[in-house]
Structure 1
């Protein structure tokens, strides 16, 4: 693919940017707010933390030393 210069938009390239006569210009603060992250999955972090804690406890129980003389029987 080669880049070739075209003059397709020469008639509009120097025109001023369009400003609406009916809608007020949006402030930078409001415009930035459109792109701010939001919590789409509220409570998701708590669920992940709970699952991680449960997994850590299960691994700790599985790795705990067991005295077979105490009559330990796996469930």
Structure 2
């Protein structure tokens, strides 16, 4: 599909931007705050942190040396 030049909006492209008579213009910082991320899953980070710690402890335990004289025999 080739791009072709159209003139569909030539009649409105240079019109001034509409300003509301009833509502003040919203400051850019306030407008941007509407799109900031929010904590939809409260506590999710805590669960992840606990899981990471548990996995790191399990990996450290699995990688530690064992003394066979203590009665540990691998399966």
TM-score by length of 2: 0.76
Aligned to 1:37: 37
Q: What is the alpha-carbon distance in structure 2 between the residues aligned to residue 34 and residue 11 of structure 1?
A: 32
Q: What is the alpha-carbon distance in structure 1 between the residues aligned to residue 67 and residue 27 of structure 2?
A: 70
- Structure 1 runs of 4+ off > 4 angstroms? none
TM-score by length of 1: 0.76
Q: Structure 1 regions of 5+ residues with no counterpart?
A: none
What CA RMSD, in Å, does the superposition of the two structures yield over aligned residues? Answer: 1.9
Pair 1:27–1:72, CA change in 2 (3 A): same
Q: Structure 2 regions of 5+ residues with no counterpart?
A: none
- Give the paired residue count: 74
Q: What is the alpha-carbon distance in structure 2 between the residues aligned to residue 7 and residue 69 of structure 1?
A: 87
Aligned to 1:52: 52
